[in-house]
Amino acid sequence: MTMTARQIIKQEYGDSKNFMTPDALRTGKMCRNIAYELSVGTGLSHNTIYGVSIVMLDESTGKTERLYDDSHVFDSMMDAAAYIADYKQRC
């Protein structure tokens, strides 16, 4: 079963938004069965923060799973983009 990044994210999170980074900027795939969503919001100190949420699709069952340990918050878009690029290289 092949799903798009948006389909994987939507299956896992539905229409809910992250309370810290509610505004999605883009989605994409790290590799065939792992998707990410890059989002932006305001931190506790009223600074702009960027969240990278990562979800894995089990292609044999069609179920998705949040990869909490791989999902992170960053202080800059550049750091978030670098993390995504690095993850893709390791995926």
**Tens digits of residue pLDDT in 5-58:** 999 999 999 988 888 899 999 999 999 999 999 999 999 999 999 999 999 999
- C-alpha distances (whole Å) from 17 to each of 9, 60, 61 are 11, 27, 25
Q: What is the pLDDT of residue 1?
A: 63
**Tens digits of residue pLDDT in 77-88:** 999 999 999 999
Q: What is the pTM of this model?
A: 0.93
For the range 45-49, what are the long-range contacts, defined as Cβ-Cβ under 8 Å and sequence gap of 24 or more? 47/75, 48/75, 49/20, 49/21, 49/73, 49/74, 49/75
CA–CA separation, 52 vs 61, rounded Å? 25
Q: What is the pLDDT of residue 51?
A: 97
| Structural domains in the chain (count) | 1
User: Which CATH number does the domain housing residue 56 bear?
Assistant: 3.10.450
Its domain, for residue 67, covers 5-90
